[in-house]
């Protein structure tokens, strides 16, 4: 399971302020905490700073990678911001995200062509948000084929089928889950990823819905999550779900986590 | 039963999401010769205000807000059909609503459409990713009282500003009230770009629309 730590996002108030003040300590502290909690990538987002996003994103990458030994997820639709961040990034980052929205697609594809970059392919287009599995598969098919044709390896693509809130339509949960399954059966070696908490928007007891939904998705092949790795219950239930889904040989990770006290919450 | 009792029964059955009972209570109130506008304003619309309060207190949740909105919409339509041609039904005003250019998110906007419609407004929904010039054209064509602009992303919020500018340049800003909303939108932003109103969510959008229209 690829865990992308989502906490360094400028739309969160404390982070926005830390970025503006170029508060190295504050940003590095959150990066380290996410690394220790098991993140594989550190997402960096400076999206609220119109006009200054390239400068700030570059600063975030440098600051984060001084503190942790992890690649970043460069979270921006703006090719200028991505290019600025790529200038200083060590290792292979993940681009978050390309989609079928024309401006985003045209802007980011040239950066991805023939590269080894990891990329999130978000199932969204100018037509709007997909509701059914078929809507999602149409976009996924187009994006994956276009990326592969442009020399991006399938194993570097993380399709995000787009989670929509259950509170608005009670089929949105299963449409997502079925898409995850379909993507893995259609494209060999591909990954799926999502920001999952949107499923419980507008409902109480969100952690129960989020955890259960994560387990359901993992059972159908979901192998990436953009999430708060400091959420101990979620991290523990991911480990349990991975073992149950047969992705954990001899239940080794589950048992290691047991000995590390991960399940004492 | 007196008028208040009839109205309370309507309000309670909306909160219970018992559509059959809402229909029956409205029927009873009409048979008791209660003014249809009183039934609409002090019964159905009032019930949604109560639902909105309970939603704000996290006693009711989003699916219930949507459910209540749909029930009231259905019942309201039945009353209107029944009283067609009768000039005793008046609307609070016409709202034109759109998600601004560059933004294809419409869940929140659709909720506003549902609750405004259920609260006595006529609503024309222009959809999502709507360019400023289309909005200007529609204002000229439809003469709305309120124009509501939604943006879900910090990157598309400037679309609200651009739309207001386009409306100003077209010389029709004074004819209408403008409201803005969407997850990243704040009252400070609304004031900065010269909007008349701002709402945090769909149920407060109704309260805010009433406020800027001068309806208590």
pLDDT band, residue B83 (cuts 50/70/90): confident
Q: What is the pLDDT of residue A84?
A: 98
pLDDT tens sequence across A108-160 = 999 999 999 999 999 999 988 899 999 999 999 999 999 999 999 999 999 99
- What pLDDT sits at residue B215? 87
pLDDT tens digits for B145-193?
999 999 998 889 999 999 999 999 999 999 999 999 998 899 999 999 9
CA–CA min distance B83, chain A (Å) = 32
What is residue B216's predicted lDDT score, i.e. its pLDDT?
67
Using a CB–CB cutoff of 8 Å, tell me whether B154 touches chain A: yes
Q: For the stretch B195-208, what's the b/e string if a residue is b when 16 or more beta carbons lie within 10 angstroms of its beta carbon?
A: bbbbbebbbbbbeb
With an 8 Å Cβ cutoff, the interface of chain A facing chain B consists of 11, 47-48, 50, 77, 101, 103, 124-129, 164-165, 167-168, 170, 201-204
Chain B residues whose CB is inside 8 A of the A127 CB are 104
Instruction: Please choose, from the candidates A218, A229, A239, A217, the residue with its C-alpha nearest in 3D space to the C-alpha of residue A42.
Output: A229
Q: A200 vs chain B: nearest CA distance in angstroms? A: 10
Give the pLDDT of residue B89: 76
A128–B158 CB contact, under 8 Å:
no
A127 with B62: Cβ contact below 8 A: no
Contacts of B154 in chain A (CB under 8 A): 11, 47-48
Nearest-CA distance A131 → chain B (Å): 11
Verify whether the Cβ–Cβ distance A168 to B62 is below 8 Å.
Answer: yes
The CATH number of the structural domain formed by B3-82 is 1.10.1240.10
Domain ranges of chain B: 3-82, 93-213
Residues 6+ apart with CB under 8 A from A54: A78, A80, A81, A83, A84, A85
The sheet that has A157-160: what strands, in order across it?
A191-192, A157-160, A118-125, A94-100, A72-75, A41-45, A2-9, A224-227
Nearest residue of chain A to residue B202 (CA atoms): A202
| pLDDT mean over A69-85 | 97
Decide if B62 and A203 are in contact by the 8 Å CB cutoff: yes
Query: In this complex, do B61 and A167 lie within 8 Å of one another by their Cβ atoms?
Result: yes
Given a contact cutoff of 8 angstroms between Cβ atoms, the answer to whether A217 and A176 are in contact is yes
Of the candidates A6, A198, A4, which has an alpha carbon nearest to the alpha carbon of residue A94?
Answer: A4
Q: Do residue A201 and residue B62 have CB atoms under 8 angstroms apart?
A: yes
Q: What is the CATH number of domain B93-213?
A: 3.40.50.280
Share of chain A above pLDDT 90, in %: 96
Phi, psi of A125 (to 5 degrees): -140, 180
B155 touches chain A (CB under 8 A): yes
* pLDDT of B88 strictly over 80: no
Q: Contact, A159 vs A141, CB < 8 A?
A: no
CB pair distance less than 8 Å for A164 and B129 = no
CATH class name, domain A92-207+218-227: alpha beta
d(CA A73, CA A95): 6
Tens of pLDDT, residue by residue over B125-155, are 999 999 999 999 999 999 999 999 999 988 8
Looking at residue B84, its pLDDT comes to 74
Domain ranges (residues) in chain A: 1-89, 92-207+218-227, 231-265
Q: How far is B30 from chain A (nearest CA, A)?
A: 33
Q: What is the pTM of this model?
A: 0.85
Say what the ipTM of the complex is. Answer: 0.78
Question: Å from B54 to nearest chain A CA?
Answer: 13
B117: left (phi over 0), alpha (psi -120 to 50) or beta: alpha
Q: Is the dihedral of CA B195, B196, B202, B204 positive or negative?
A: positive
Decide if pLDDT at A56 tops 90. Answer: yes
Under 8 Å CB pairs connecting chains A and B tally to 45
Distance from A125 to chain B by nearest Cα, in Å? 8
Inter-chain touch A128–B154, beta carbons under 8 Å: no
Give the SS3 label for residue B181. Answer: strand
Nearest CA in chain A to B130: A126
């Amino acid at each position: 399971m690829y865990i992308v730590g989502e906490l360094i996002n400028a739309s969160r108030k404390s982070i926005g302020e830390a970025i503006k003040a170029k508060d190295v300590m504050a940003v590095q502290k959150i990066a380290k905490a996410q690394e220790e909690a098991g993140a594989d990538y550190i997402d960096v987002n400076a999206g609220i700073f119109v006009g200054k996003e390239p400068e700030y994103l570059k600063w975030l990458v440098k600051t984060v990678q001084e503190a942790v030994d992890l690649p970043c997820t460069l979270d921006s639709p703006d090719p200028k911001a991505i290019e600025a961040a790529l200038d200083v990034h060590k290792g292979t980052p993940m681009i978050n995200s390309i989609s079928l929205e024309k401006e985003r697609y045209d802007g980011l594809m040239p950066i991805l062509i023939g590269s080894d970059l990891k990329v999130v392919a978000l199932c969204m287009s100018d037509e709007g948000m997909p509701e059914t599995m078929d809507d999602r598969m149409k976009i996924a098919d187009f994006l994956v084929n276009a990326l592969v044709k442009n020399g991006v390896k399938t194993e570097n693509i993380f399709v995000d089928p787009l989670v929509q809130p259950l509170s608005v339509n009670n089929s949105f949960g299963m449409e997502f889950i079925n898409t995850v399954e379909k993507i893995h059966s259609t494209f060999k070696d591909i990954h799926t990823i999502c920001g999952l908490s949107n499923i419980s928007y507008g409902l109480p007891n969100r952690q129960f819905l989020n955890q259960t939904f994560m387990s359901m998705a993992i059972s159908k092949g979901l192998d990436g999550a953009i999430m708060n790795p400091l959420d101990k219950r979620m991290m523990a239930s991911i480990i349990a779900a991975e073992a149950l889904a047969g992705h954990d040989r001899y239940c080794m990770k589950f048992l290691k986590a047991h000995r590390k006290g991960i399940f004492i919450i | 039963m007196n008028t208040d009792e009839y109205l309370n029964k309507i309000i309670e059955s909306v909160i219970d999401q018992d559509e059959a009972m809402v229909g029956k209570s409205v029927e009873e109130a009409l048979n008791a010769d209660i003014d249809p506008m009183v039934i609409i304003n002090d019964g159905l619309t009032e019930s949604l205000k109560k639902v909105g309060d309970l939603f704000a207190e996290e006693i009711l949740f989003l699916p219930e807000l949507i459910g209540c909105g749909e029930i009231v919409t259905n019942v309201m339509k039945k009353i209107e059909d029944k009283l067609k041609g009768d000039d005793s039904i008046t609307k609070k005003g016409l709202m034109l609503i759109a998600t601004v250019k560059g933004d294809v998110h419409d869940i929140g906007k659709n909720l506003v459409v549902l609750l405004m419609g259920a609260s006595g407004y006529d609503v024309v929904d222009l959809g999502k990713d709507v360019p400023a010039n289309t909005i200007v054209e529609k204002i000229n064509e439809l003469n709305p009282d309120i124009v509501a602009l939604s943006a879900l992303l910090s990157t598309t919020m400037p679309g609200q500003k651009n739309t207001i500018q386009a409306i100003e340049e077209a010389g029709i800003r004074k004819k209408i009230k403008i409201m803005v909303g969407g997850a990243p939108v704040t009252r400070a932003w609304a004031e900065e770009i010269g909007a008349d109103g701002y709402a945090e969510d769909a149920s407060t959008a109704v309260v805010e629309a009433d406020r800027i229209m001068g309806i208590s």
